[in-house]
Amino acid sequence: MNKMTSKHPPVGELAGIISNFIRFKRSMGYIYQTEEGILQRFSLFTMRYTINNNEISLQLIEAWLERRKDEKASNHKTRTLCVLQMLNFAAKHGYEVYFPVLIKKIKVPEYTPYIFTKAELERFFNACDHIQPYPGTSRHHTIPVLFRLIFSCGLRASEAANLKCSDVDLTAGVITVRNGKNGKERLIPLSDSMSRCMEQFSHRYDNYKDKYFFKGKYKSKLQRHIIYKWFRICLENAGIPHLGKGQGPREHDLRHSFCVHSLKKMQEKGVDLYASLPFLSVYVGHASINATQHYLRLTAEFYPDIIEQINRQCSEIIPSVEVGKI
């Protein structure tokens, strides 16, 4: 069981049931850190209302469900669904919960992944190699390794940031990704060139004396927003335009590009995509093969020959999805 505890536990009349719900979710293997923060804020929110005899009023719930000014649709959806799940749990454990009769479906704008071309990747990594030093950081040495690892292993940025020195086995050429999305753990083999790159980096900073493989300012843990900031700098230096807020490219698109370029290589080598797609799905830590297929459907305009082959080979197990309507 996950034994993580919050610095700010739930408060108020619902503190007990919220804590029980968080323990329940973690007992099922979920990390539940982001959600714990949401539920802690919800517990603070409930203190504006009177809760008697374990009754959670409709007024309280509707006030929480209301979308706030300038709140992103994705954030609204996350905090709404999280609390509704907890309230459903509470209703099954003795609480009288007055759910709204109709909850409107929260629509989150679909983001179409930006797929880097081979030429763009070359320019991007060249920009990484020529990044200027910044006081208090090792960014000029970290950035070339960090973004190559994210791309070559199809990592999420959070997985790279959370990578510990103990998770890196350069002798075997393998890294262990722990607590990935949905709490999954997986082993990822490194290419020879990536292993050499990481070995040179680790020797330069004697990384194994530290907890995390990549570090931020003054050897603190590298934060997601710093990774994104570095990504935008390299993107600009590479002459690749950013299309605006919510349009990308994002650092996560390196992962998307890895998936697409991997499938393209497989096709060029005559590999059976029907047999290979599940392996790629496991490699990048997708919950199911449909998640891998979801990314590729959105890239049909880039590599229609790949999509045609997937449709031909996988039509029986993967439903057809129209681009732009997923």
Q: Contact 154/259 with Cβ under 8 angstroms?
A: yes
Tell me 138's DSSP state: -
Q: How far apart are the first and last CA of the chain?
A: 35
**Bridge partners (DSSP) listed for residue 176:** 187
Q: Where are the alpha helices (DSSP H) in 130-191?
A: 139-153, 157-161
d(CA 143, CA 201) in angstroms, rounded, equals 11
Mind telling me the catalytic residues? 156, 181, 252, 255, 286, 295
Tell me 205's DSSP state: H
Tokens of 218: 């003054």
**Bridge partners (DSSP) listed for residue 175:** 168, 188
The secondary element (H helix, E strand) that includes residue 235 is: helix 224-237
**Bridge partners (DSSP) listed for residue 168:** 175
d(CA 70, CA 50) in angstroms, rounded, equals 28
**Sequence-separated (6 or more) residues with CB below 8 Å from residue 140:** 131, 132, 133, 134
Q: Contact 188/283 with Cβ under 8 angstroms?
A: yes
Among residues 27, 42, 29, which one has the least CA distance to residue 84? 42
Tokens of 109: 């704008």
